[in-house]
Structure 1
Amino acid sequence: MPATPRIVFLDAGTVDDLPAFARFDELGDFASYALTSPEQLLERAAGATVLITNKVALSAETIEQLPELQLICVAATGTNNIAKEAAAARGIPVRNVAGYSTDSVAQLTLTALFTVAMDLLHLNREVYSGNYSRAKDFTLWRQPFYELRGQRYGIIGLGTIGRRVAELATAYGAEVVYYSARGNDHDAPYTRMELDEFLATCDVVSIHCALSEQTDGVLDLDRLRQMKSSAYLVNVARGGIVVEQDLVTALDEGAIAGAAVDVFREEPLPADHPYLRVRNRDKLLLTPHIGWASVEARTRLIEGIMQNIRQGV
């Protein structure tokens, strides 16, 4: 790598508000763009020795047209937007940042669960609408809610984030079990279950696995109907793991009590997405893929990218 590398961050809009972002200038000739469209990609990447991308796809054709490129840094954990074989053929390392968002995603997982299971959005509206002010009693609710203590909390994917969620659920007194799509046992103090029993017995199911051939669409309508009608589903992993229309059907027919979703097969969420047509919106909490995005997590991400650049080729 040259003494002064030319570094281009193609889609920095989700991290360029942080103080740590200014430190990229210390590493070389640095340029950044909030977003880069496919039409803008080659012009902006031309001459770069280091490319940083979050979601911008780098195809084999694109990589071949960037003769000076020596390093690709992914501002995320997943690298499926990179033609890695083409990069390897050129001797170009592809470096990601793992583990930066563990606590942030785990925090949202429990927050989202409690928000939907305790009916908090509805209760907030009841206070602001004046219905609580007109109530005859000092308290108000429309449906019972339960403590997590003593309930079975099921985790799909016992990786770094899944283990952190397991720790939090255990701290609340839940019984944690897990399902592994690969059928692997993990060195962890939790019981691994097969999917049928897992779905039929868990009071909460939260998803923390990668999207793969084994997990793509694994939670379809038949699987969702296996769950308890009192159970809650939380998906903070990848949208494609749950068949999205089937989740709406399951909620509308009362197959499960509620769900919280932070990830979608297509992002941003299309305006005609089936989630937006769910009958009772209080049963489906939707957040715009924010689980990864605490200030601390995004700062760790920037620091990880800079460390990957410092390592050179």
Structure 2
Amino acid sequence: MITGFALIGAGLFGERHAQAYSRHHAVDFVSVCDLNADRAQAIAAKYGARRWTTDYREVLANPNVRAVSVATPDHLHREVAVACAKAGKHLLVEKPLATTVEDAEAIVEAARRAGVMLMVDFHNRVNPPMAQAREAIRRGDIGRPAYVYARLSNTTAIPTEMLKWAGQSSALWFLASHMIDVVRWMLEDEIVRVYAVGRDGILKRMGVDTTDFHVATVEFSRGAVAVFEHAWILPRTHATVKDLKLEILGDGGAIYIDASHNRTIEVYSAERATFPDVLAPPTGEHLTGFVLDSIAYFVDAVTRGTPVLATGEDGVAVTRAICAIIASAKTGAPVNL
């Protein structure tokens, strides 16, 4: 069954949605919307969308559009997502669902009232090492999880060059949203208490008004403790744009993941070493791997009625946890959820 899909927000990650839709056999890629007309037109032409526009209302008025990806900047999700739901369009919202609990809950409620599907694009749930870790935990390979250490950080290139709206975001929204979700999903448990610290100054001196890093200690309802560490100040000489580590200690074993790069291929020149990502290439004509797989889950949910990869409620839980981390870092006191 061929179904009409559209994209609202054609930035760097929005382009990944366009790549995915252009490759999926069940997708009629109807429209691309972006406030930048040149960008909208270019992405539509590059990936075969039939239309482009700078007004998302035109997308929602199109009867051929049944489902929409919302990939606008994180803090701007609510208006567009709620309008999509009210127009009867199924929704794939980029993570984080929103940057306030009020906005996240409003999106979930709008989707519920309209009877449309809502999926949050927490694509690390289909990142192979993460998925295998969850299965190992469910099998009991490490016993009962007791302690988790999760780190996902980026070089300064992300906030200073890649994200024009970095001043309205942070490493928490951009990165911790991934790791908080994946740890909740692996442990199948909810966060009940957080204590966090954060510091700023480095990025502000570089012209970006956001926090350099946060470190949070998080307690789960069944007793597990996790430490989340997220920074936007890795040096540009770092071999890869990200540093991703995950350690899970149980009463019967342990899991260690280093997904900073997969080491499948290493390229050494006279100037530097690089580790091209073959699991989810960030650029190029052919998107493959778990990023594509995540968006395919949404297509399958819309066209075949299968479960979404991550629900709106998952999105609210992550937003609530990050808001608590921010509050704790500001006050210096623990926050109960």
Tell whether the structures are fold-level matches, with TM greater than 0.5. no
Query: Which TM-score applies when normalising by structure 1?
Result: 0.39
Structure possessing the higher relative contact order (Cα contacts under 8 Å, 6 or more residues apart): 2
Larger radius of gyration: 1
Structure in which a larger fraction of residues adopt helix: 2
TM-score (norm 2): 0.37
The structure with more strand, counted as a fraction of residues: 2
